[in-house]
Structure 1
Amino acid sequence: MTITGLDREVLLTLNAFGGGSNNLWDLANNSLFRGFPVFFSLVALWFSGDQPERRGRMLAGLLAVCLATMLSVWSQFHTAVHIRPILDLAIPLDTVIPRTPWDRTNSFPSDTATLFFSLAAVVFVEKRWVGLFCFVWVAAIVAIPRIIVGLHYPSDILGAFILGPATVFLFATLPYPKGLFERALTWFEGRLYIVHALLFIFLAEAFDLFPSLQALGKVFARMLHS
């Protein structure tokens, strides 16, 4: 069996499990339910101690989250690995998602899974057991349901699992991003409320997949092509 055939077989097997379940999709797509353990852990780790080294490492990790997510979205727009399952009417899917056109027909890798796996990796770097729990939560609540309803192939999720954490782990080991953020935290030592405010805005946007940034990106794209 080819990789493409295995991808499709796993997709159809999982889809038969609950692709038509509104309850499953409502839970998996609920921002608070799917994101609570990850975002709670990030905030708790940030405020667990005034340690510039840890906070610098976390900020470098969050920068990696942004980069990995942007790469995943770019890949969906500019590569042609395979069409999103829900858009391929030749695949007999049972799904609660309308099979209507999307702005991104390519689905590799999953940008949602990339974001959440990346955030789980930031937690993992600081607290291994908590991070492992976050990885399992993201896989079960965020990633696998997206296969079940036909938004992604298993390979899309696997690609996200590799891309997101690999980028975070790379940034966690490189000295430059961490050192730069550590120095910035030292400069803002008497004005950490500014850093906290920026962190709050980032997490608020990330909580629902950067909707404002995506909208701004589309506006700028239209302006450039007008």
Structure 2
Amino acid sequence: MNFLDSAVTLTLNGFSQVSWSFDYAMVFFASAHLAKGGIFMAVLWWWWFKDGNKKFDYRERVISALLSAFVAVAAGRILAIILPFRARPLHETSIDFLPPLGMTSNVLEGWSSFPSDHAVLFFSLSVSLFFLSRKLGLCALAYTVFLIAFPRIYIGFHYASDILVGGIIGAGIGLLGNSRIVVDNVSRRVLGCANSTPALFYPVLFLLTFQIAEMFESTREGIKFAVHVYEQACLPNESLVLK
């Protein structure tokens, strides 16, 4: 653990269990999908149906934001898997971390903290919102820093460097996803599907925004269940073994 991570983590942890209301607020914002992805997806849906001369430009940007978010979630998870494992502050045995009130110490145990997939996703979305409105982008960035990233450091889910690196990766994905070449060659073609096959497009769009809002949690659980069923099916059936 470097000096920055140590200083930030231990300083913030000094306030743990001092205020019941503050601790529970931090736990809520760190864990409630509605307060994170739900709000961002609601904002994108609002821009999708916003009327005006730039209606189709808005929709292209919304599609770019969603595509960037999808890539961000995938990138964050892949990097966390392939990079060397890093225990979360909450589980780090070398520091005497005091969990905030309302936290259980075994949550996310076995999951690497680096980089923060939340930071990758929500900094990507914040950058994407800049292309719709600078004021909205600034508000989204502030919301991400103070009500998404900060709580995850405070409750011991991440070190500061997890957030910093994840934020840089996410911002880069957001910028690339909103580049002119992507908007013209990808987002515009996807928007064409909304006009040609709306009966198919909108259910898919709804499911995508729902999954992004919950960071594909139900999809992950479904995959884990399928893997478990497959592993159980591959086990030899003892009742059929001849004795």
Normalising by structure 2, we get a TM-score of: 0.80
For 2:181 and 2:80, locate their aligned partners in 1 and report how far apart those are by CA, in whole Å: 31
Residue type matched to 1:151 in 2?
A: F
Q: Show the counterpart of 1:128.
A: 134
Deviation at 1:59, TM superposition (A): 1.4
Deviation at 1:77, TM superposition (A): 1.7
1:35-62 superposed Cα distances (whole Å, 9 cap, x missing partner): 4542332111111137334323321331
Residue type matched to 1:125 in 2?
A: F
Match for residue 48 of structure 1 among 40, 47, 50: 50
1:6-42 superposed Cα distances (whole Å, 9 cap, x missing partner): 2111111122234672333124422223345423321
Deviates more, 1:117-126 or 1:214-223: 214-223
Deviation at 1:224, TM superposition (A): 8.7
For 2:227 and 2:76, locate their aligned partners in 1 and report how far apart those are by CA, in whole Å: 18
Q: Does 1:82 align with 2:86?
A: yes
Gaps of 5+ in 2: 235-243
Are the equivalent residues in 2 in contact too, given 1:15–1:147 (CA < 8 A)?
Answer: no
Deviation at 1:145, TM superposition (A): 0.7
Deviation at 1:172, TM superposition (A): 0.9
Q: Structure 1 residues 190, 205: CA separation in 2 closer, same or farther (over 3 Å shift)? A: same
Q: Show the counterpart of 2:6.
A: 8
Match for residue 201 of structure 1 among 207, 216, 226: 207
> Sequence identity of aligned pairs in percent?
26
Normalising by structure 1, we get a TM-score of: 0.85
For 1:106 and 1:150, locate their aligned partners in 2 and report how far apart those are by CA, in whole Å: 12
Are the equivalent residues in 1 in contact too, given 2:119–2:163 (CA < 8 A)?
Answer: yes
Are the equivalent residues in 2 in contact too, given 1:185–1:192 (CA < 8 A)?
Answer: no
Higher alpha-carbon Rg: 2
1:36-93 superposed Cα distances (whole Å, 9 cap, x missing partner): 5423321111111373343233213311211121111112222116322112122111
Residue type matched to 1:22 in 2?
A: Y
Q: Show the counterpart of 2:98.
A: 94
Deviates more, 1:65-74 or 1:141-150: 65-74
More helix per residue: 1 or 2?
1
For 2:35 and 2:107, locate their aligned partners in 1 and report how far apart those are by CA, in whole Å: 27
Q: Does 1:168 align with 2:166?
A: no
Q: Show the counterpart of 2:237.
A: none
Deviation at 1:199, TM superposition (A): 1.8
Deviation at 1:143, TM superposition (A): 0.7
Deviates more, 1:142-151 or 1:192-201: 192-201
Q: Structure 1 residues 9, 58: CA separation in 2 closer, same or farther (over 3 Å shift)? A: same
Pairwise CA RMSD of aligned residues?
2.6
1:200-223 superposed Cα distances (whole Å, 9 cap, x missing partner): 211212222211221234356555
1:5-84 alignment runs, 5 A limit:
5-18=3-16, 21-35=23-37, 37-49=39-51, 51-80=55-84, 82-84=86-88
For 2:220 and 2:179, locate their aligned partners in 1 and report how far apart those are by CA, in whole Å: 29
Residue type matched to 1:55 in 2?
A: R
Q: Structure 1 residues 30, 77: CA separation in 2 closer, same or farther (over 3 Å shift)? A: same
Provide the secondary structure at the position in 1 that maps to 2:105: coil
Are the equivalent residues in 2 in contact too, given 1:53–1:182 (CA < 8 A)?
Answer: no
Deviates more, 1:4-13 or 1:213-222: 213-222
Deviation at 1:193, TM superposition (A): 4.5
For 1:124 and 1:79, locate their aligned partners in 2 and report how far apart those are by CA, in whole Å: 30
Q: Show the counterpart of 1:112.
A: 118
Provide the secondary structure at the position in 2 that maps to 1:52: helix
